[in-house]
Structure 1
Amino acid sequence: MSLPGRSPRRSSRLPLTLLIAPLLAACSGQDAQTVLNRTVSTSGLNVSTNVRYGPDARNFMDIYSPQDAKGAPTVLFIHGGSWEGGDKEGHRFAGESLARAGYVTAVMNYRLAPVNRYPSYVQDAAAALKVLRDRSVSLGGSPDNIFVMGHSAGGFNAVEVVVNERWLREVGVPVSSIRGVIGIAGPYSYDFRQFSSARAFPQGGLPDEIMPDRHVRPDAPPHLLLVAENDSVVYPQNALNMEAALKRAGIPVTRTVLPRVNHLTIMAAIARPLTFLGGTRKAVIDFIETHRR
């Protein structure tokens, strides 16, 4: 119960604004994810952990589903971490958030660099898509109503696995079953040879051979590219180049610069208690609702 004249929403959000937002700014990525996970509960959802999609020790995903879902949009979420770190457990908040929105959501692990370089982690995304699609009906989802989504390095994986026709063809997933791709602060178009992330790519590899903006298939689904206004990790030019490549191929694309957020908080704003940080969750849900079957 609230006091007369006091907004219940404001009274509940103020402590989060004062306590969590500064904590996120001070935390490393992994510590911030731990904080975010503590703000959410999966009570009332169906959660299947460690669903295997391949033979490697990291070929597992966790699946979050609304209770009594039937024919729901199905989302594959891919975490970031410069292709060398991160995990599905740290992104429980993303699975919970999207499941509460009504979507069957898989949060996957993938093989990490430098031991596993491109295209290993993209092939993992394709394999996970295959298993998720095959199991979607039993989970309450739809095999022809799939969205692929990723943050940072995971955004690269999400875009590359769909726009490069090779990867879906290898696993037998029709591109027509993918209704949309959502990239959040992803590095889709850069010369990795100038950065430490070169460890994630083959020695002697060239950007023209690897970057998703060089691979756009003519039948790719619509894309949403979300950019953090204050991103100092992934340059905005990545999204500009990706947008241009998609437009040249005639692919519907929306590039949205979200104000106030940085490379970390653009992802944190997916968490339901932290939507005050930015418009990520709303933008994602609006996109899915627009393009779902």
Structure 2
Amino acid sequence: MLFSRRWLLAPALLIVPLLLLVANEYATARPSRRTQDVAYVPSTDPTFDAERHLLDVYAPRKKSTTPYPVVVFIHGGSWNSGNKNFYSFIGRRLAKQGVVAVVINYRLSPKVEVPAMADDCARAVVWTTQHIQEYGGDPQRLFLMGHSAGAGLAALLAADNRLLARRGLATNPVRGTLLDDPAGLDMLDYLTKLEYPDDAQYLIPYGKQPEVWKDVSALYHVTAATAPFIVFIGGETYPSIRNSSRKFQQKLTSLGRPPQFTVLPGKKHAPMVLQLYWKDNVIYQELLKMVNG
């Protein structure tokens, strides 16, 4: 995400290095199987989007006597950009390390607003619980991971049980969530203040009603029963991300559910996801401890 004039350049700055990484990735042999462009919303659904209601599954090639843990990854992009295809390296790295990865698309602004994006992500999670066994995954060990705006959506799915209940899951299946430089954890505060240049642009994906800003902010839904969080932020990330992440940490701690919270010195917002190209990165290390714990 976010939250200064510099952020307006961030999607473009992210795309160029990501494309270079993807090109290199396809030149490298990988011990994983990618099943591409699986629709998680039926084509008969009136809201079906043939590009955005798709996901990719990355499964280890190595057979296992027990199902693998599952991680659903939600990309960032300021709620108006981003594509699962840029993040194949994350799917490959997770599969190589014994995880079935599900990397999703969801509809973007200005076509829809954030509540519809959250519903899309919920539908992708529901699809995963219903079908991931076909790919060697264990629906009883389902975790979420996201970067930037995608991390905010992941946190919301983990915290707001209503999103999944509306789609037929009486119990939230998320066993833990890793947030990578998360944006959107407290948009009520952010959009009320509008303290940075060009902040008004986020009224397009979020609308103009404060009750909606609060309703789609994970900070206001976490409880003592919410599954564990791991939070990473960059030491040089945007002030709004740093401040809202700290507030999120404090809220969870007050509930008796302190998250594992790590600041990576010197890291800016885009490098926080680009570093996931390397499978031995500390974020993967901590994620694997969670999913295998």
Would you call these one fold, judging by a TM-score over 0.5?
yes
Q: Write the distance in 2 (CA, Å) between the matches of 1:157 and 1:72.
A: 24
Question: The residue matched to 1:74 in structure 2 has which SS?
Answer: strand
Task: Give 1:47's aligned amino acid.
Answer: R
Q: Secondary structure at the match of 2:146?
A: strand
Match of residue 16, structure 2, among 31, 48, 53: 31
* SS of equivalent to 1:255: strand
Deviates more, 1:242-251 or 1:110-119: 242-251
Question: Unpaired runs of 5+ in structure 1?
Answer: 1-24
Tell me the CA shift for residue 50 of structure 1. Answer: 0.4
Q: Is the 8 A contact 1:258 1:280 kept in 2?
A: no
In the aligned structure 1, how far is the partner of 2:222 from the partner of 2:283? 25
Moved more, 198-207 or 157-166: 198-207
Contact kept? 1:229, 1:258, Cα under 8 Å: yes
1:17 corresponds to which residue? none
TM-score by structure 2 length? 0.83
**Amino acid of the residue matched to residue 148 of structure 2?**
S
Does residue 47 in structure 1 map to residue 34 in structure 2?
yes
Task: Provide the identity percentage.
Answer: 24
Change (3 A) 1:175 1:268: farther
2:186 to 189, 207, 211: 189
The aligned counterpart of 1:287 is 290
Aligned residue type for 1:52 = A
Query: Which is worse superposed, 207-216 or 157-166?
Result: 207-216
Q: Which residue, out of 225, 230, 252, partners 1:224?
A: 230
Alpha-carbon spacing, 1:178–1:155, altered in 2? closer, same or farther (3 Å): same
Q: Is contact 1:151–1:185 with CA below 8 Å preserved after alignment?
A: yes
After superposition, the C-alpha distances for 1:184-241 in whole angstroms (9 at most, x for unaligned) are 1112124135222221112223443332101114421000111111113753111111
Q: Whole-Å Cα distance in 1 between the matches of residues 70 and 172 of structure 2? A: 14
Name the count of aligned residue pairs: 262
CA contact (8 A) 1:163 1:215 kept: yes
Distance 1:39 1:259, change over 3 A: farther
Q: How big is the alpha-carbon RMSD for the aligned residues of Structure 1 and Structure 2?
A: 2.0
TM-score where L is the length of structure 1: 0.83
The one of the two structures with greater contact order (alpha-carbon pairs below 8 A, sep at least 6) is 2
Distance in 1, matches of 2:89 and 2:208, equals 35
Q: After TM superposition, what 4+ stretches of structure 1 lie above 6 angstroms from structure 2?
A: none
1:83 counterpart = 2:79: yes
Cα-to-partner distance string for 1:7-66 (whole Å, 9 max, x where unaligned) = xxxxxxxxxxxxxxxxxx9x7111121122233246331110001111222100011000
How far apart, in 1, do the equivalents of 2:24 and 2:237 lie? Answer: 24
Q: How far is 1:175 from its partner?
A: 4.3
2:269 is aligned, of 263, 267, 273, to 263
Alpha carbons of 1:107 and 1:137: their partners in 2 closer, same or farther (altered >3 Å)?
Answer: same
Alignment-derived partner of residue 49 in structure 2: 56
| 1:131-174 Cα deviation digits (max 9, x unpaired) | 11111111101011000110000001100012012112112335
The residue aligned with 2:206 is: 201
Letter in structure 1 aligned against 2:151 = G
User: 2:145 maps to which residue?
Assistant: 149
Q: 1:133 to 1:257 in 2, by over 3 A?
A: same
**For the residues of structure 2 that align with 1:204 and 1:61, how far apart are their CA atoms?**
31
